[in-house]
Amino acid sequence: MSKVRMSWGLLLCLTLASGCVQTKYGWYDYDQKLYRHYRDPGQQEVFLEQLKEIVERGTSSNRIPPGLFAEYGYVLYETGKFNEATRYFDLEGKKWPESRVLMAKMVKNAQLRAGKAEGRVQ
Protein backbone atom coordinates (compact mmCIF):
# COMPACT_ATOMS: atom_id res chain seq x y z
CA MET A 1 0.00 0.00 0.00
CA SER A 2 2.72 2.43 0.99
CA LYS A 3 4.65 1.38 -2.10
CA VAL A 4 1.69 2.33 -4.26
CA ARG A 5 1.39 5.68 -2.51
CA MET A 6 5.10 6.32 -2.96
CA SER A 7 4.97 5.63 -6.68
CA TRP A 8 2.02 8.00 -7.02
CA GLY A 9 4.04 10.59 -5.18
CA LEU A 10 6.94 10.00 -7.51
CA LEU A 11 4.67 10.33 -10.51
CA LEU A 12 3.31 13.62 -9.18
CA CYS A 13 6.87 14.91 -8.65
CA LEU A 14 7.83 13.93 -12.17
CA THR A 15 4.73 15.57 -13.59
CA LEU A 16 5.47 18.76 -11.70
CA ALA A 17 9.12 18.69 -12.68
CA SER A 18 8.38 18.21 -16.36
CA GLY A 19 5.89 21.05 -16.11
CA CYS A 20 8.77 23.36 -15.26
CA VAL A 21 10.54 22.72 -18.55
CA GLN A 22 8.17 24.71 -20.66
CA THR A 23 8.35 25.41 -24.35
CA LYS A 24 8.06 28.95 -25.55
CA TYR A 25 4.78 28.19 -27.30
CA GLY A 26 1.88 25.84 -26.57
CA TRP A 27 2.35 23.33 -29.39
CA TYR A 28 0.18 20.63 -27.77
CA ASP A 29 1.75 17.87 -29.88
CA TYR A 30 1.25 19.71 -33.17
CA ASP A 31 4.16 17.73 -34.64
CA GLN A 32 2.66 14.38 -33.67
CA LYS A 33 -0.75 15.42 -34.95
CA LEU A 34 0.74 16.51 -38.26
CA TYR A 35 2.61 13.20 -38.46
CA ARG A 36 -0.61 11.26 -37.90
CA HIS A 37 -2.35 13.39 -40.51
CA TYR A 38 0.30 12.41 -43.07
CA ARG A 39 0.07 8.79 -41.97
CA ASP A 40 -3.76 8.65 -42.31
CA PRO A 41 -4.63 11.44 -44.78
CA GLY A 42 -8.26 10.32 -44.89
CA GLN A 43 -8.83 11.55 -41.33
CA GLN A 44 -9.26 15.21 -42.29
CA GLU A 45 -12.00 15.79 -39.69
CA VAL A 46 -9.79 14.44 -36.92
CA PHE A 47 -6.97 16.75 -37.95
CA LEU A 48 -9.38 19.68 -38.06
CA GLU A 49 -10.56 18.96 -34.50
CA GLN A 50 -6.99 18.60 -33.27
CA LEU A 51 -5.92 21.91 -34.80
CA LYS A 52 -9.01 23.54 -33.30
CA GLU A 53 -7.98 22.29 -29.87
CA ILE A 54 -4.42 23.62 -30.26
CA VAL A 55 -5.74 27.00 -31.39
CA GLU A 56 -8.22 27.20 -28.50
CA ARG A 57 -5.69 26.19 -25.87
CA GLY A 58 -3.03 28.42 -27.39
CA THR A 59 -5.39 31.39 -27.44
CA SER A 60 -6.48 30.98 -23.83
CA SER A 61 -2.90 30.54 -22.57
CA ASN A 62 -1.64 33.29 -24.91
CA ARG A 63 1.05 30.93 -26.18
CA ILE A 64 -0.21 30.28 -29.71
CA PRO A 65 2.69 29.06 -31.89
CA PRO A 66 3.55 30.76 -35.18
CA GLY A 67 1.61 29.36 -38.12
CA LEU A 68 -1.13 27.62 -36.15
CA PHE A 69 -4.01 30.03 -36.80
CA ALA A 70 -3.22 29.72 -40.51
CA GLU A 71 -2.77 25.95 -40.38
CA TYR A 72 -6.22 25.63 -38.81
CA GLY A 73 -7.62 28.20 -41.25
CA TYR A 74 -6.32 26.19 -44.18
CA VAL A 75 -8.00 22.95 -43.13
CA LEU A 76 -11.24 24.94 -42.65
CA TYR A 77 -10.71 26.26 -46.18
CA GLU A 78 -10.17 22.75 -47.54
CA THR A 79 -13.37 21.55 -45.91
CA GLY A 80 -15.35 24.38 -47.49
CA LYS A 81 -15.70 26.61 -44.41
CA PHE A 82 -14.46 29.72 -46.19
CA ASN A 83 -15.78 32.40 -43.85
CA GLU A 84 -14.36 30.71 -40.78
CA ALA A 85 -11.09 30.21 -42.68
CA THR A 86 -10.96 33.95 -43.41
CA ARG A 87 -11.26 34.67 -39.70
CA TYR A 88 -8.23 32.55 -38.83
CA PHE A 89 -6.11 33.87 -41.71
CA ASP A 90 -6.89 37.34 -40.36
CA LEU A 91 -5.87 36.32 -36.84
CA GLU A 92 -2.56 34.92 -38.12
CA GLY A 93 -1.80 38.14 -40.00
CA LYS A 94 -2.59 40.29 -36.95
CA LYS A 95 -0.49 38.18 -34.61
CA TRP A 96 2.56 37.73 -36.91
CA PRO A 97 3.52 40.60 -39.25
CA GLU A 98 5.84 38.19 -41.14
CA SER A 99 2.78 36.31 -42.41
CA ARG A 100 0.88 39.33 -43.77
CA VAL A 101 1.79 38.96 -47.47
CA LEU A 102 0.66 35.34 -47.49
CA MET A 103 -2.38 35.89 -45.29
CA ALA A 104 -3.65 38.71 -47.53
CA LYS A 105 -3.56 36.23 -50.44
CA MET A 106 -5.24 33.51 -48.38
CA VAL A 107 -8.03 35.85 -47.24
CA LYS A 108 -8.63 36.97 -50.83
CA ASN A 109 -8.84 33.35 -51.98
CA ALA A 110 -11.14 32.31 -49.16
CA GLN A 111 -13.49 35.23 -49.80
CA LEU A 112 -13.57 34.50 -53.51
CA ARG A 113 -14.52 30.91 -52.77
CA ALA A 114 -17.06 32.00 -50.14
CA GLY A 115 -18.67 34.32 -52.71
CA LYS A 116 -18.83 31.51 -55.26
CA ALA A 117 -20.31 29.13 -52.72
CA GLU A 118 -23.01 31.66 -51.86
CA GLY A 119 -23.67 32.27 -55.53
CA ARG A 120 -24.36 28.57 -55.98
CA VAL A 121 -26.85 28.53 -53.13
CA GLN A 122 -28.93 31.40 -54.51
Partner 1 sequence: MKRLFLFAILALLPACAHQPKDLSKFEAAKPASILIVPVVNQSVEVTAPDYFLSTVPVPLGERGYYVFPVNLVKRVLEDEGLSDANLVHNAAPQKVCGLFGSDAILYVTIKEWSAKYLLLSTVVDVRLAYAIKDCKTGETLWDHEQAMTYSPQNNSTGNPLGDLIVMAVNAAVTKAAPNYVPLARQANNIAFNGRPGERGIPFGPYASQEQMAEGARTGIRAPKN
100 touching partner 1, by CB under 8 A = yes
- Size, binding site for partner 1 by CB under 8 A: 33
- The total of other beta-carbon atoms located within 10 Å of residue 36's CB is 15
Phi, psi of 29, deg, nearest 5: 60, 30
Site string for partner 1, 24-63 (x = CB under 8 A): xx-x-xxxx-xx-xxx------------------------
CA-to-CA separations, 116 to 64, 65, 90, 121, in angstroms, rounded:
32, 32, 20, 9
**CB 92 → partner 1: shortest distance, Å?**
8
16, 111, 7, 24: which is closest to 66 by C-alpha?
24
Interface contacts to partner 1, rule CB under 8 A: 18, 21, 23-25, 27, 29-32, 34-35, 37-39, 65-68, 70-71, 73-75, 78, 92, 96, 98-102, 106
